[in-house]
């Protein structure tokens, strides 16, 4: 599992590659593709907090 520092380093690399804020604004609608995410960060799952609280029932 990646450490917080590994995630920060990856995010910093993305920022460094994109350049200044203006270029990020230009790319704001760009879709992030699953295959663009490093393997070690794919282990994280986004959980719906509401479903955790009610036993997974919606």
- Taking the C-alpha atoms of residue 28 and residue 23, their distance in angstroms, rounded to an integer, is 9
CA-wise closest residue to 2 among 46, 44, 45:
44
The vertex-7 CA angle with 21 and 32, nearest 5°, equals: 55
Residue 53's pLDDT is what? 53
Going residue by residue through the chain (58 aa), what tens digit of pLDDT does each one get?
Answer: 678 989 889 888 887 876 666 666 666 656 667 677 777 777 766 666 555 555 555 4
- Taking the C-alpha atoms of residue 10 and residue 23, their distance in angstroms, rounded to an integer, is 18
Residues 6+ apart with CB under 8 A from 36: none
> Per the confidence metrics, is the pTM higher than 0.75?
no
Residue 15's pLDDT is what? 79
Structural domain boundaries of the chain?
A: 4-43
């Amino acid at each position: 599992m990646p450490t917080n520092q590994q995630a920060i380093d990856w995010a910093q690399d993305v920022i460094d590659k994109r350049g200044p804020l203006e270029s990020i604004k230009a790319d704001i609608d760009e879709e992030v593709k699953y295959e663009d995410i490093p393997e070690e960060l794919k282990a994280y799952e986004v959980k719906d907090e509401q479903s955790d609280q009610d036993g997974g029932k919606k």
